[in-house]
Structure 1
Amino acid sequence: MIKWLAAVLGFMYARIPGAILGFIIGTLLDNYIRSTGGLLNSWFGEQKQHVSPGDFELNLLSLCSIVIKADGHVSQQELDYVRTYFVQSYGKERANATFRTFNEVVKNRQVSASRIGRYLAAKTRYATRLQIIHFLFGIAQADGRVSEPEAEVIQEIAGYLQLNRRDFESIKAMFFKKADYAYTILEIEKNASNEEVKKAYRKMAKKYHPDKLGHMDEAYRKGAEEKFRKVQEAYELIQKERGM
């Protein structure tokens, strides 16, 4: 890819000789980048996770505990939701080991949403962080409703995870079906044109496509599929409302 870009740039500045020189330099750069494990990815922020699976699980479980305690009431439904997720994702033996480690090492310490959020923001992909927020809302809703304290805590965590406001509001709208929630899910205003609605749907469908989380476990991919389905439902609702 780089060799052709360099050739075009070379041609613009020095015609044929420049194109040849650019192609040669670009080829050398292509070879170097492949040998060093994808330097371009790190330049553009698409690096793979550098957090160990065990570390990720403990940090995620810590965030779960923050959300569960947010409204001052520890719900059995929320606890069961978390346990079911970990068992489905990692198997019963590994899930139990994670819970034991959490109980022994983390549970009795002060859990810092700020520290964990910033750590995961630096170590995980943006799509993974979107799924974390979706998962936390799922926990909060496990007892039948997402309380305001829970929503506020999840919003705070989303800030530490460096999610932009519109992405957060889009995911939140999937759990709070207030007026015009379908437009919020698509991250547009109600007065958007039909063409803007279609464009927003294509953009959101691409953002939340399950393939974005192909590197994650099965439970996370199911969460991505759920978000993808919510985007489709929002679009269909707007289509029906407008007669599109």
Structure 2
Amino acid sequence: MVKWVLALVGYFIYRFPGAIAGYLIGTLIDSSFESNKKSGRKGFDTVFTTSRSQNVSPSDFELNLLSLASIVIKADGSVSQTELDYVRAYFVQAYGKERANATFKTFNDVIKNREVSAQRICTYLNSRTRYEVRLQILHFLFGIAQADGRVSSPEVSQLSSIAGFMRINQNDFKSIKAMFVKDANNAYKILEIDKTATDAEVKKAFRTMAKKYHPDKLQHMDEAYQKGARDKFQKVQEAYETIQKERGF
């Protein structure tokens, strides 16, 4: 499947030579996927399922995730090499160097030049992913935006749109945003409460958020996603400790 998709993309970019190159690279990716299945590797085929037992393959997920990454990278009107490197490193950690480099190399020009629909991609993923996985995708996309040192207003706006398309509620969006965009009330935003919350409400919010972002929820996924879950969980703990020190309880 992937070999034909890459062949088509290659044809539109470099005509027949591109189609041939895309077909060959796609063949390698398909072969890698089949090898992973035979070896019992836990991949996205065990995670991204609909109620009708339809699957999105690892390759499908990679291509859609990379497309969402390209939207964030281009959100502020320029393509940052730092952000590209962040995505490459993430893919290498999640899928291994050979497979990640093949996918990334094929779509390098597409990332820079082609427009993709965030709404279409998110609609496709929504019926095939669990909510906690979509939270991790948003966390990853915020990480891209911050890779160059700051999350710009256009990037926040684009990320807000993507979160809406992925049906992530506003409180969860604000919580993850607060992990990357700093202000005075960040600790409260991460715990999804107001500064006027009572001590009891703070403690309850911490327990709720710790359960929501506990790394065990993504233990069946690749290391890059488990690391993201650990990062969010740590931010929740740090937010709670900040409020504890502030209030003295």
Same fold (TM over 0.5): yes
Paired positions, count: 200
Alignment partner, residue 90 of structure 1: 95
Whether 2:66 is the aligned partner of 1:64: answer no
1:232 is aligned to 237
Cα separation, 2, equivalents of 1:229 and 1:48: 34
Q: Which of the residues 206, 223, 227 maps onto 2:228? A: 223
Q: Is 1:118 matched with 2:123?
A: yes
How far apart, in 2, do the equivalents of 1:138 and 1:48 lie? 31
Partners of 2:70 and 2:111 within 8 A in 1: no
Report the alpha carbon displacement of residue 110 of structure 1 after superposing the two structures with TM. 2.9
Q: Secondary structure at the match of 2:187?
A: helix
- Unmatched tracts of structure 2, length 5 or more: 1-49
C-alpha contact (below 8 Å) 2:123/2:166 kept by paired residues: yes
CA 1:222–1:46: 2 relative to 1, 3 Å: farther
CA positional deviation for 1:167: 0.3
Shift of 1:50: 2.5
The one-letter amino acid paired with 2:138 is I
Is it true that 1:202 corresponds to 2:207 in the alignment? yes
Q: Which runs of 5+ in 1 are unaligned?
A: 1-44
Q: Which residues in structure 2 correspond to 1:19-98 (within 5 Å)?
A: 50-98=55-103
User: What's 1:144 paired with?
Assistant: 149
Corresponding position of 1:212 = 217
Distance 2:82 2:95 in 1: 20
Query: How many angstroms does 1:96 deviate by?
Result: 1.6
Instruction: State the secondary structure of the residue aligned to 1:123.
Output: coil
The 8 Å contact of residues 68 and 78 in structure 1, kept in 2 or not, is answered as yes
Does the 8 Å CA contact 1:46/1:125 hold for their aligned counterparts?
no
Rate the CA distance shift 1:139–1:104 in 2: closer, same or farther, 3 A.
closer
| Correspondence 1:135-214 to 2 at 5 A | 135-214=140-219
CA–CA distance in structure 1, aligned partners of residues 53 and 231 of structure 2: 23
Deviation at 1:215, TM superposition (A): 2.0
Provide the C-alpha distance between the structure 1 equivalents of 2:190 and 2:84, rounded to a whole number of angstroms: 27
Distance 1:228 1:196, change over 3 A: same
Which secondary structure state, in structure 1, belongs to the residue aligned with residue 175 of structure 2?
helix
Deviations 1:182-217 (A, max 9, x none): 101000111111010000000000000011111211
Alpha-carbon distance in 2 for matches of 1:225, 1:48 = 29
Q: TM-score, normalised by structure 2?
A: 0.76
Q: Which has the larger radius of gyration?
A: 1
Look up the SS of the partner of 2:167 in the other structure. Answer: coil
How far the C-alpha of 1:92 sits from its partner, in A, is 1.0
Normalising by the residue count of structure 1, what TM-score does the alignment of the two structures yield? 0.78
Counterparts in 2 of 1:229 and 1:193: CA distance versus 1, 3 Å: same
Letter of the 2:200 partner, please give it: E
Cα distance between partner residues in 2 of 1:226 and 1:177: 16
Match of 2:138 in 1: 133
Distance 2:220 2:82 in 1: 29
User: Structure 1 residues 115, 207: closer, same or farther in 2, change over 3 A?
Assistant: same
Q: 1:164 to 1:65 in 2, by over 3 A?
A: same
RMSD of aligned alpha carbons: 1.9
Quote the Cα distance in structure 2 between the aligned partners of 1:62 and 1:237. 36
User: For 2:111 and 2:242, how far apart are their aligned partners in 1?
Assistant: 44
Residue 100 of structure 1: CA displacement? 3.7
